[in-house]
Structure 1
Amino acid sequence: MAKIKLKYVNEYIDHTGKLRRYFRKRGKQLGTLPGEVGSEEFMTAYAAFLAAEPAIAKRPVHEDSLAKLIIDFYGSRLFTDRKPSTRQLYRYALDPISKEHGHRSATLMTAENAEKIINKIGATKPGMGNLTRAVMRRVFYFAVKTKRRKDNPVLGIDAFKVGEHHTWTDAELRQYEAKWRLGTRQRLAYAFLLYTGQRVGDVAKMNRADVADGLIHVVQQKTGAELWVPIHPELARAMKSYSAQGLSLIGDGSGRPLKRAALSSLMRLAIKQAGLPSRCVSHGLRKAAMRRMAENDATANQIASISGHKTLKEVERYTKAADQKKMARVAMGKVPNEKS
């Protein structure tokens, strides 16, 4: 079989003797490349790294334009030093801004102008509005740093109020399980989300090579946190009951790797077919996992060892749906009974 040689791909043998590959350009290692060269998961990651490079302007832009500022930002360390997933997120927010408002003057843009642009987005998509606000703040920080401006017009813009994801209740968990029994792909996907406590994107990329000694190795895409998550008995049962094909722990019907969007779509349909309310989404299973750990006396540090959160404040935010009645009974039980 002919060997495929791709630009920017480097190989090395790790301490276990396993061949690994990574994407390297301009002297920087941008990230690992999973799977075999030419496989779907490998080519998806490879294409993502290529796509993360700053786009070349299709037509000349004015030196003072917002489009030129964004292009220069893409070439700065404020962008290139970020993880590939973060760079993609930045581009997701900035490319539409450049297309629609790139002709505007970057140095003359007022706080009012910037707020109108962001408010138009946030009026219907508050989450996207907040992302745009955060990334635009970095772009204009770059403008100040490069002495194109003396101020950052985005600093005073308030964030949009965004509702938190619903934490699944035990009754909702039981309802899903009653619909999707062990042996179904829907139950397997649910079990991975609930019993690993990981985000959908991290669950989607789990493969058999990640499993060792009763643990699943996870490197979180969002935080870069490296975790070893114990395989819960319920997850083990779900894995044993479903004869998955291929290397992915959750693949498509033919065993091929799933992308994050495909796993989300699988769960969204399964949740709907289980008759659960629209508030029940995949991310709520991560919160349910943390809630159940908190209700069973896991400490914040112990929960963080599974969730990968960097601060205990984040853990507290995710576990605030812990069963108040149970917590209250435990607390009241600690009050001395003087008549006993």
Structure 2
Amino acid sequence: MGSACADVPEPFEQILEVWIDRIWINRRQTEPFIPLPARLAIFVWGVEPNVLGYVLGEDWPELEKKLASSPSAWSICLAIQPAASSLPTLILDSCGFLRSPKVRPSAHFQPTTAADRISTVLSSIFSAVTVLRPPRSARFLMERSKRSRLPDFGAPNFNEEYQTLLAGLEPTKKRLLGVGSLEWLIKRYRDSSAYLGLSDATRRQRDNIFKGVIDKAGHVSYKAVSRKKILQGREDRAATPAQARNFLDAMRGLFRWALEAEHVAIDPTAGVKNPSRPKGGDGFAAWTDDDVVAYEARWAAGTKERVWFHVLLYTGLRRGDAVTIGRQHVRDGVATLKTEKTGMEVNIPILPALADTLAIGPTGDLAFIVGDNGQPLTKETFGNYFRSACNAAGVKKSAHGVRKIGATRAANAGATVAELEALFGWTGGTMASHYTKTADRKRLAKQASEKIVNAQRPHLPKETPRTSKKI
């Protein structure tokens, strides 16, 4: 027995690789069940203590001594032990092995499967014992001393049961995937013209929200979604008001469509208000004139960082539009494009300061904003790059804050609500009014202070005291 021990790991590892690749995990048909990286292990029953675990290549002399000195029958199982200690060990389906001193080996045993080949290897290692294939019921997950039986491999519910046991979760009720579930309603909504008419950015945002909703409550009947549950979803995201607003926007879109399509009789989102903004907060921090000076001092003309900044500052575009604008959009000194968020067409004069920056570059063929390789950037990548450029200039602000200083400057210069909406692509008057009202307050305060000064009575000069003449 001892002479074979030094060569034990190699044949087992080779057979395990074949078994995993060709039998257990068919990568062309299904995702892996086994949480790799993992290692091959041997588990022995019947030797005190009751269960002993051994990793191949480790403690073989000790294992051999225990098996050789065991007066009673014992069983040995081949298993896959995940590298992560928090995960349970998987006892392989047909790789358990039984030994009893009273059982004689079959004279006609021929290795025909991976499990049989493993049996043959075990037989050659433990030459003094009999190795037989176990019954099918030997398959289970073992975590510490707890065993959980699995269905037969290949059964329809095998993967679901395995993943449930692996996660240490109690089996949950089966999802209602047919007509009537919230997941079904969301899928129908995503196929509708109402959803497909949204911008790519809005659909991506809502897809992320719907994914979380489906994971948590996709099996629930959509008719069971009440106003109270919508409010609870808002409160669950209260720590991040922007996420709460996005959640409400997504659910409003879903149930407004469902109401119109006569899937529901009542819209549970009706009357639910967006969370109020924190006091003293106004979303993204607007840049100041000092921030502009600091950034331009760090990034001179001729750098891509200067191009990034001037495109944002002098066009007032959001990130998603700023990364797409290019020479193809400019005619007679005016850039015309539809905004990603609202789909509104905006007309932006290319101001001399921006024209000078673009002439120096660097810019791309179809996009003014480019990366190191001269290729366009996604809005997410650009957002990260621009924040790094801001940090290097000592400005702890974002790209959206540049848009805000542009709107502030325009409003302070006397731009009307209609003019701001035409330039920045806003609708409804709310955002534009915010800037014009702020600018108006400043102008009115200045005018009021001037009136106070003008209304003040002028001071008369002090009379000099008369001196009496002495005669």
TM over 0.5: yes
Please identify the structure whose Cα radius of gyration is greater: 2
The counterpart of 2:416, out of the listed 299, 302, 305, is 299
State how far apart, in whole Å, the 2-side matches of 1:117 and 1:326 are: 42
Residues 110-136 of structure 1, C-alpha deviations (whole Å, 9 max, x = no match): 33333333432x134321221111221
The answer to whether the Cα contact below 8 Å between 1:295 and 1:322 also exists between their aligned partners in 2 is yes
Q: Which residue of 1 aligns with 2:128?
A: none
**Relative contact order, CA 8 A, sep 6+: which one is greater?**
1
| Contact preservation (8 Å) 2:177, 2:183 | yes
Segment drifting more, 230-239 vs 87-96: 87-96
Report whether the alignment pairs 1:260 with 2:379.
yes
Change (3 A) 1:226 1:331: farther
In 1: Cα distance, 2:367 partner to 2:256 partner: 42
Give the 5 Å matches for 1:52-63. 61-63=177-179
Matches for 1:21-60 after TM superposition, within 5 Å: none
Residues 111-150 of structure 1 aligned to structure 2 (within 5 Å): 111-120=227-236, 122-150=237-265
| Secondary structure at 1:159 match in 2 | coil
Tell me if structure 2 keeps the 8 A contact 1:248–1:255.
no
Q: Which whole-Å CA distance do the structure 1 matches of 2:448 and 2:385 have between them? A: 41
Tell me: CA distance 1:217–1:177, structure 2 relative to 1, closer, same or farther (3 Å): same
C-alpha spacing 1:129/1:192, structure 2 compared with 1 (3 Å) = same
Question: Alignment identity in percent?
Answer: 28
Contact 1:176 1:274 in 2 (8 A): yes
Cα distance change on mapping 1:321 and 1:271 into 2, 3 Å: farther
For 1:15, the equivalent position in structure 2 comes to: none
Aligned to 1:263, the other structure's residue is in SS state helix
Q: Which amino acid aligns with 1:159?
A: N
Whichever residue aligns with residue 213 of structure 1, its letter is D
User: For the structure 1 residues 330 and 191, does the alpha-carbon distance in structure 2 shift closer, same or farther, using more than 3 Å as the test?
Assistant: farther
Code of the residue aligned with 1:139 in structure 2: it is L
1:91 to 207, 226, 236: 207
Q: Specify every segment of 5 or more residues in structure 1 that has no aligned partner in the other structure, as ranges.
A: 1-58
CA separation in 1, counterparts of 2:386 and 2:327?
21
| C-alpha displacement of 1:190 | 0.5
1:150-299 residue pairs with structure 2 within 5 A? 150-162=265-277, 163=281, 164-277=283-396, 280-299=397-416
Does the 8 A contact of 2:176 with 2:220 survive in 1? no
Query: Does 2:407 align with 1:311?
Result: no
1:141/1:326 Cα in 2 relative to 1: closer, same or farther (>3 Å)? Answer: closer
Instruction: Deviation per CA, 1:243-264: give whole Å up to 9, x if none.
Output: 3343321111222111111221
Bigger Cα displacement from structure 2, 62-71 vs 308-317: 308-317
**Residue correspondence of structure 1 range 62-101 to structure 2 within 5 A:** 62-101=178-217
Distance (Å, rounded) in 1 between the aligned partners of 2:443 and 2:314:
21
Equivalenced residues, count: 279
CA distance in 2, matches of 1:239, 1:304: 25
Check whether the contact 2:302–2:361 (CA below 8 A) recurs between aligned residues.
yes
- C-alpha change, 1:302 and 1:63, in structure 2 (3 Å) is closer
Report the TM-score, using the length of structure 1 for normalisation: 0.72
Query: In structure 2, what is the equivalent of residue 108 of structure 1?
Result: 224
Partner Cα distance (2:199, 2:233) in 1: 27
Does the 8 A contact of 2:416 with 2:436 survive in 1?
A: no
**1:193 and 1:199 in contact (8 A); partners too:** yes
- Match of 2:223, SS state, is coil
The two structures, once aligned, show a CA RMSD in angstroms of: 2.8
8 Å CA contact 1:247–1:255 kept in 2: the answer is no
Q: Deviations for 1:241-288, whole angstroms, at most 9, x for unmatched residues? A: 3233433211112221111112211211111111123xx211111110
- Structure 1 residue 317 displacement after superposition: 1.5
SS in 1 for 2:347: strand
Say if 1:324 and 1:167 are closer, same or farther in 2 by CA, change over 3 A. farther
Question: Structure 1 residues 143, 326: CA separation in 2 closer, same or farther (over 3 Å shift)?
Answer: closer
Question: Taking structure 1 as reference, are residues 146 and 238 closer, same or farther at Cα in structure 2, changes over 3 Å only?
Answer: closer
Q: Which moved more, 1:150-159 or 1:197-206?
A: 150-159
Aligned counterparts of 1:332 and 1:302: Cα–Cα separation in 2: 28
Q: Name the CA distance, whole Å, in 2 between partners of 1:201 and 1:320.
A: 27
Q: Does the residue aligned with 1:222 lie in a helix, a strand or coil?
A: coil
1:309 maps to amino acid: W
* Aligned equivalents of 1:244, 1:141: Cα separation in 2: 43
Contact 1:245 1:254 in 2 (8 A): no
Query: What are the Cα deviations for residues 136-166 of structure 1, in whole angstroms up to 9, with x where unaligned?
Result: 1232334444444432333354422344222
Q: In 2 relative to 1, CA 96–254 (structure 1 residues): closer, same or farther, beyond 3 Å? A: same
Structure 1 residue 325: deviation in Å? 5.2
What corresponds to 1:20 in structure 2? none
CA distance in 1, matches of 2:259, 2:342: 28
Q: Return the TM-score normalized by structure 2.
A: 0.54
Structure 1 residues 146 and 215: alpha-carbon distance in aligned structure 2, compared to 1, 3 A threshold: closer
Letter in 2 for 1:237: D
1:220 positional shift: 0.8
| SS class of match (2:224) | coil
Greater CA drift, 95-104 or 307-316: 307-316
Distance of aligned partners of 1:225 and 1:149 in 2 relative to their CA distance in 1, 3 Å threshold: closer
Unaligned runs of 5+ in 2: 1-174, 459-471
Return the match for 1:328 from 442, 445, 458: 445
Matched AA of 1:192: V
